[in-house]
Amino acid sequence: MRHRKQQELFVNFNTTLTTHLKLPKLKQQKTNHTFIDLFCGIGGFHLALHNIGATCLFASEWDESARKTYEHNFSGISEDLFNKNNFAGDITLVDPKSIPNFDILCAGFPCQPFSQAGFKRGFNETRGTLFFNILNIINEKKPKAFFLENVRHLLKHDNKKTFEVIKRSLEDLGYSFFYKIVKASDYGLPQHRPRLLMVGFKNKEINFTFPSPIPLKYTLSDALGGECKKEIGFTLRVGGRGSGIDDRRNWDTYLVDGKIKKIGPKEGLKLQGFPDNFSFPVTESQAMKQLGNSVAVPAIQIVAEEIIRKLNEHEKN
C-alpha cells in the first residue's frame, strides 16, 4: 500500500507542479505545516514541500544568480515570502529570533571544513561553519523536525568525524537522528545522484523510516528526447562541462540516436525532476551550475511526505 502511494505521488508530481508554476497565485492544499528553506539554491526543497501542501515562511540564499532564479519561479506562488522580506541573503547575518516560527527546517547545507579540535560539547566544533547557523536556528526556534541534504562523502569525511559532530550536535539539541544515502534513481529519476539525507524530530517517540525505492518513471532516453543505451545517466553536477564523451569525468554528454548530444537546461530540468516550465532568467552556463547544485526534487518530495505523515500521525495520537 505504501509503495503504491509513493508511485501515485510521483505520477501526480509533474502534472500538478507544472500547473501550479503557471498560475500567478496557487490555491494550496489546506495544511498546518510550515517550513524554512536554507541554502535554498533554486528552490528544490521549496518546490517539493510546496507541492505536498506545506508553506514556506522563510528562505535564504547568498548567491545572486541563484536568488534571481528562485524569485523568478516562486514569487507568484509564495508571495508572502517576498512581500514580507523573508527572502534573506547571507544567513550568517540573520538573527534567528527574526525568523517566523515554523515546523520543518530544510537545508542542503555546504559542507565546510569542521574544527579538528576534538569532540567538545555544545557548538564549539561547528563555529566558523555554516552548519553552526542551522544549529543556532534550531536551538532558537525549536521546530518539530529537520530535513537536511548533503553529498554522500560527508558520511565518511575526516574518518567520519564530521558526520559524528553533525549527528551529535543535533542530538544534543534534543532531536532524534535518522539518515540514509539515497539515489535520485531510487525515486523515479534517470540519474544516479547519491545523496546523504538526514531527518530528525523534536519528539523522539516518532520512529522514521525512509520510503522504499520506486521504479523509474521515465528513462534517460525520455529525458534526452531520443534513443540512449543507458537507462540511468551520470550524476548531474557543477564541474566537468565539456569534458567529452570519452573522458572519465564526462557527465553531460551522451550518444542519443547515434549522435553526440550535450545536455542543456531543458534536459537538466528533467534529470532533476523539475517541471518543464521552470525557467531561468540567467545564462545557460549559470543555469547548468544551478541545476548541478540543486536537489533531485522527487526524492525530496517523497521523503518530505513521509516526514509530514509522521508528524500528522503523532499529532492525531
Positions annotated as catalytic residues are 111
250-259, long-range: CB within 8 Å, 24+ apart, which pairs?
A: 252/288, 254/220, 254/224, 254/228, 254/230, 255/228, 255/229, 256/221, 256/224, 256/225, 256/226, 256/227, 256/228, 257/226, 257/227, 258/227
- Grid cell for residue 117: 579540535
The CA distance from 93 to 107, in Å, is 17
Q: Dihedral sign, CA of 246, 189, 293, 12?
A: positive
Q: What share of the chain is helix, strand, coil (3-state, %, to 5)?
A: 40, 15, 45
The CA distance from 58 to 16, in Å, is 23
The CA distance from 271 to 224, in Å, is 9
Residues 6 or more apart whose Cβ sits within 8 Å of residue 87: 58, 59, 60, 61, 67, 70, 71, 81
The CA distance from 126 to 111, in Å, is 11
Nearest residue to 52 (alpha-carbon basis) of 26, 72, 87? 26
- Grid cell for residue 151: 553529498
- Grid cell for residue 45: 526543497
- Grid cell for residue 65: 544568480
- Grid cell for residue 3: 509503495
Secondary element (H or E) of residue 60: strand 55-60
